[in-house]
Structure 1
Amino acid sequence: MTNTPDQSPLGKNSAYQTEYAPELLFPIPRQQKRDELGLAGTLPFFGVDIWNAYELSWLNMRGKPQVAIATFTVPADSPNIVESKSFKLYLNSFNQTRLANTDALLALLREDLSTAVGAPVHAALTLPEDFDKLKMGELDGLLLDRLDVEIDNYSPSPELLKANHEEAAVEETLVSHLLKSNCLVTGQPDWGSVQIRYVGPQIDQESLLRYLIGFREHNEFHEQCVERIFTDILRQCKPNKLAVYARYTRRGGLDINPWRANFSTAKPPNLRAARQ
């Protein structure tokens, strides 16, 4: 039986288990939404979903609480995503769980999440003695939000996107902090910033900003929104190279930061933005 978003813990009262319960993780197949975008067979992108968990705690063998910030990197070609509330419930299940050391914790996290998404998941911990080494940073690029545009449409409209195919190709990085979508199940708002790097025909910036604002009343998970943005820009503007990276604000102690690209480039830095 295939899991669907409406079967997940989202929008439902949930008992918070405080002892290790990997069965709480709720995987959802990625392909359901990719079918809507006409993405079958070889994907037009590669990438990762970067999750940061700020509310991770467990007990040492003497019962003393431990805390850490965890970072998970999920490959975009994994068959499944993990629904975020189930992820939060799963992490909470460590609250009263005694573990010998951080290696034991990491082993469980990697095994359980890899099983859930159907591909190897990288997990890392930042312990309190290293909290001061964590850095913040904003997405770099030319700010689209400076443009004074009139908006009357708040659903994704790829036909808005246009590029100048008559001139020479350009290389640009564009950024907007006005990305907002809604949870696919509950309708609660998800806030984010998005960075678009491309090489190709120059994209009309006003049309791109209108398109991005068009997600404002759209119901879809973070990963799905980023793949929709990537696919729409690729099809409508036909850049030679394209990368889309979104940093979403946290909910329930978790933030999700999907990145998709179609050219050889380094994974973007996992720098927490001011709103996160």
Structure 2
Amino acid sequence: MTPDQSPLGKTASYADQYDPSLLFPLAREPKRSEIGIRGSVPFLGADLWTAFELSWLNMKGKPQVAIAHVTIPCESTHIVESKSFKLYLNSFNNTRLDSADAVRDRIRDDVTRAIWDGETVKSAAGVRLLTAPLFECEPVKELEGVSIDRLDVECDTYQPQPDFLTAAFGEKPVEEVLVSDLLKSNCLVTGQPDWGSVQVRYSGPQIDQAGLLQYIVSFRNHNEFHEQCVERIYMDILTRCKPAKLMVYARYTRRGGLDINPWRSSHPQLPPANTRTARQ
């Protein structure tokens, strides 16, 4: 299935009874091939989703609400198109289930099937539900690192330009974390704006900060899904700047009650906490 066949940009009926067939898988491979990835991926990571609009009925018909944190492993063959995931979550609205655990298990099993789309399941989706008593425990925190947005750079390129990325190969390697809140791209199908913040953590030749900022800004008129943008950023930095270690993590503002936050790393580590920023 292709993005133009997805529910994006189309009128969709509201289904309020549980229906896992609403999930629309999209293969990762076509976009990965554009950035030189063939076969197994050269990174670890996951897509960290937060669903703020999740509700169902208990066995007495009383509405229940929760926030869902969903982890999609980056090695999966497919992603789930975000509008289809929203429609799928809506299908729980008038469905009676006996516990939050039952809801969690259904989401985990359905999403796992979708992201492998008939292929052998190598890693399951992760799902964690926070019910209303735990809402006050959800923090708001900005990405850690040195902001490169302070730099007074000239920007006139608004399609991804890897040539902006340079590093000091003849100097002593460094280890640093750089962040920017100026990431913007557009939905691959609808062209609607997607706003994000990005964190680059690396060790190796020092990356030119002005060039990195111009590179991030150059995504401004680019049409790709969140996951695809982050993988493009990761591969461009890896190819142009040759860090010994690299992590790229982006947090995008929510749309339709969902935020999608891709994380890619060159080395094994615990995933970032799925903690929203102020703009989310």
TM-score interval for Structure 1 and Structure 2 normalised by the shorter chain: over 0.9
The residue type paired with residue 198 of structure 2 is V
* CA distance in 1 between partners of 2:66 and 2:268 (Å): 32
Q: Look up the SS of the partner of 2:230 in the other structure.
A: helix
Instruction: Tell whether 2:164 aligns with 1:166.
Output: no
For 2:119, the equivalent position in structure 1 comes to: none
Instruction: Tell whether 2:15 aligns with 1:17.
Output: yes
* CA distance in 2 between partners of 1:76 and 1:64 (Å): 37
How many aligned residue pairs are there? 274
TM-score scaled by length of structure 2: 0.97
**More moved, 248-257 vs 112-121:** 112-121
The residue type paired with residue 156 of structure 1 is P
* CA distance in 2 between partners of 1:271 and 1:209 (Å): 24
How much has 1:135 moved relative to structure 2? 1.0
* CA distance in 2 between partners of 1:157 and 1:130 (Å): 43
How much has 1:240 moved relative to structure 2? 0.4
**More moved, 257-266 vs 191-200:** 257-266
Instruction: Tell whether 2:181 aligns with 1:149.
Output: no
For 1:130, the equivalent position in structure 2 comes to: 134
Q: Look up the SS of the partner of 2:31 in the other structure.
A: helix
Percentage of pairs with the same residue: 61
The residue type paired with residue 103 of structure 1 is D
The residue type paired with residue 3 of structure 2 is P
How much has 1:79 moved relative to structure 2? 0.4
The residue type paired with residue 227 of structure 2 is E
Are the equivalent residues in 1 in contact too, given 2:18–2:92 (CA < 8 A)?
A: yes
Instruction: Tell whether 2:195 aligns with 1:213.
Output: no
- Pick the aligned partner of 1:270 from 255, 271, 274: 274
* CA distance in 2 between partners of 1:272 and 1:264 (Å): 23
Are the equivalent residues in 1 in contact too, given 2:57–2:96 (CA < 8 A)?
A: yes
* CA distance in 1 between partners of 2:212 and 2:138 (Å): 33
For 1:101, the equivalent position in structure 2 comes to: 99
**Which residues of structure 1 form unaligned runs of 5+?**
none
The residue type paired with residue 100 of structure 2 is T
How much has 1:38 moved relative to structure 2? 1.0
- Pick the aligned partner of 1:202 from 200, 203, 206: 206
For 1:4, the equivalent position in structure 2 comes to: 2
Q: Look up the SS of the partner of 2:50 in the other structure.
A: strand
For 2:50, the equivalent position in structure 1 comes to: 52
For 1:65, the equivalent position in structure 2 comes to: 63
* CA distance in 1 between partners of 2:127 and 2:264 (Å): 19
Q: Look up the SS of the partner of 1:259 in the other structure.
A: strand
The residue type paired with residue 61 of structure 1 is M
How much has 1:8 moved relative to structure 2? 0.1
How much has 1:134 moved relative to structure 2? 1.2
Instruction: Tell whether 2:185 aligns with 1:175.
Output: no
Are the equivalent residues in 1 in contact too, given 2:44–2:268 (CA < 8 A)?
A: no
- Pick the aligned partner of 1:43 from 31, 34, 41: 41
Instruction: Tell whether 2:87 aligns with 1:92.
Output: no
Q: Look up the SS of the partner of 2:200 in the other structure.
A: strand
Query: Residues 233-264 of structure 1: CA distance to partner in whole angstroms, max 9, x if unpaired?
Result: 00000000000000000000000000000023
* CA distance in 2 between partners of 1:264 and 1:132 (Å): 31
* CA distance in 2 between partners of 1:41 and 1:163 (Å): 28
How much has 1:46 moved relative to structure 2? 0.7
For 2:245, the equivalent position in structure 1 comes to: 241
* CA distance in 2 between partners of 1:239 and 1:145 (Å): 22
* CA distance in 2 between partners of 1:46 and 1:5 (Å): 24
Q: Look up the SS of the partner of 2:211 in the other structure.
A: helix
